[in-house]
Amino acid sequence: MENVIDTVREWLTQYGPNVVGALLILLIGWLLAKLVRAIVRKMLQRARLAEAAVSFVTSLTYVALMTFVVIAALARLGIQTASFIAVLAAAGLAIGLALQGALANFAGGFLIVIFHPIKVGDYIEGAGMSGTVEAIEIFTTTLRSPDNKEIIVPNAKLTGDNIVNYSAKDVRRLDLVVGISYGDDIQKARDIALEVIRADERVLEEPAPAVVVLELADSSVDLGVRPWVKTADYWDARFAVTQAIKQRFDAENITIPFPQQDVHIYQETAGG
């Protein structure tokens, strides 16, 4: 009996602190993993990701953290974890190579969530596509084109290219080009165009609109018409201003030269 007690006492003396330390590592690590999972969940929900994507990311985060916690606890017990870590690393490498594209899209989605270059409702250009952002998932972003097509863009392509966000600012400038004949009075045409754009209630006083001579082209003098409008009014103002300028030029006998008549009033940059 005394031998048993001595053995137990010796075992507790030798391994007890390590067992207690391992249990504390597991307990504290588990609590920290839950805390980090809750923080990540709130961040993703604030970014308005789909619940399926939120659950996937939070679960992945929790499992990864708990893996490190278990390895730390085993090491505290004196168990050699080098081989275990090597197996995990090899498995991770194999999985990473097999899911290279998916992981790139995952990383792209994570960057979008963290840095917020776009959000649902924005009109953007990216990865050679353009449209209104309808959903930001963990692997893909869904756009709706102006003609109501659904476009699904991998996040890796979206974040790996330039992104033009037309909705990021409250105010945008209309960039129109109007060609007039060389025989017309340039100052008169500028004054008329400026009067037309100022008459549109959607055109802002500040920044002030401008009409400038852009270029002496082969068959026309090109005027740049540059009013500023609220982003929400962009397309309606563009169409209305273009039509109003054409009608006023016709009324004032200012010629938009052929053959550019059908194509020379246009917008230099797309979007809206």
Instruction: State pLDDT tens for residues 54-82.
Output: 776 787 788 888 888 888 887 777 777 66
**In the chain, pLDDT over 70 holds for what percent of residues?**
78
Tell me the per-residue pLDDT of 188-244, one tens digit each, with 9 for 90 and over. Answer: 999 999 999 999 999 999 999 999 999 999 889 999 999 999 999 999 999 999 999
**Which helix (H) or strand (E) segment is 67 a member of?**
helix 51-76
The confidence score (pLDDT) of residue 1 equals: 58
Residue spans in the chain of domains classed CATH 1.10.287.1260 = 2-98
> Rounded to the nearest 10 degrees, what angle do helices 51-76 and 82-98 cross at?
160
Q: Which option is the CATH number for 2-98: 2.60.40.2300, 3.40.50.300, 1.10.240.10, 1.10.287.1260? A: 1.10.287.1260
Which residue(s) pair with 143 in the sheet?
133, 151
Give phi and psi for 119, each to the nearest 5: -145, 165
pLDDT (mean) for 141-163 = 93
Q: Which option is the CATH number for 117-165: 3.10.450.50, 2.30.30.60, 3.40.50.300, 2.40.40.20? A: 2.30.30.60
**Which helix (H) or strand (E) segment is 123 a member of?**
strand 123-126
Separation CA 59–CA 74 (nearest Å) = 22
Is the predicted pLDDT of residue 261 greater than 50, yes or no?
Answer: no
Model confidence, pTM: 0.62
Greatest mean pLDDT among 83-87, 113-117, 154-158: 154-158
Residue spans in the chain of domains classed CATH 2.30.30.60 = 117-165
What is the CATH number assigned to the segment(s) 171-267? 3.30.70.100
Residue spans in the chain of domains classed CATH 3.30.70.100 = 171-267
pLDDT (mean) for 181-185 = 93
Q: Which residue has the higher pLDDT, 14 or 90?
A: 90
**Which helix (H) or strand (E) segment is 222 a member of?**
strand 221-226
Instruction: Name, in order, each residue with C-beta under 8 angstroms of 180's C-beta and a sequence gap of 6 or more.
Output: 186, 189, 220, 221, 223, 249, 254, 255, 256, 257
